[in-house]
Copies of this chain bind each other. A is one copy, B any other.
Amino acid sequence: MSQAYPGALTRERVDAVIAASGFTSWVGTELVDMAPGRVEIAVNLRRELTQHHGFGHGAVVGYMADTVCAWAAASVVGDVVTSEYKINLLAPAIGQRLTAVGSVVKAGKSQVVTRADVFAEKDGVKKIVATALATIAVVKAPL
């Protein structure tokens, strides 16, 4: 994973990616860490991001899993779109802050298989709340 593609997504370019996406910036996505093939992000919970019990909404948890998978893939191969993902919700997302870590399992020519874990932090204690497996499609540049 250490040898990234020339057009790969880098830490320097993530801010522009966040700013360009209405949803990504509205949620308040923060990049925590990024290396070729591995990305970590965080989101602070607020009322608009919760479900009816006041926990983080599954849509936010799913968003974070998908995002770290796509960015982990992009950090290796460049431009991508999510083809599909599967997510298991393991526990309620209770806390003040969610974090997600995505990593590349295998990067191929046309697709990158990735996995992600999402965690909730409550009063400094971090607990896994979801795990995901995703297929990210490589967007071919026109010749």
Contacts from A to B (Cβ < 8 Å): 17, 20-24, 26-27, 46-52, 57-60, 62-63, 66-67, 81-91, 105-106, 108, 110-111, 113, 115, 128, 131-133, 135, 137
Residues of B within 8 A of A133 (CB): 86, 88, 115, 131-133
Q: How far is the CA of A135 from the CA of B89 in the complex (A)?
A: 10
A106 → chain B, closest Cβ, in Å? 5
Residues of B within 8 A of A128 (CB): 105-106
Q: How far is the CA of A131 from the CA of B115 in the complex (A)?
A: 10
Contact of A83 among B51, B81, B88 (CB under 8 A): B88
Q: Select from chain B the residue with minimum beta-carbon distance to A84.
A: B88
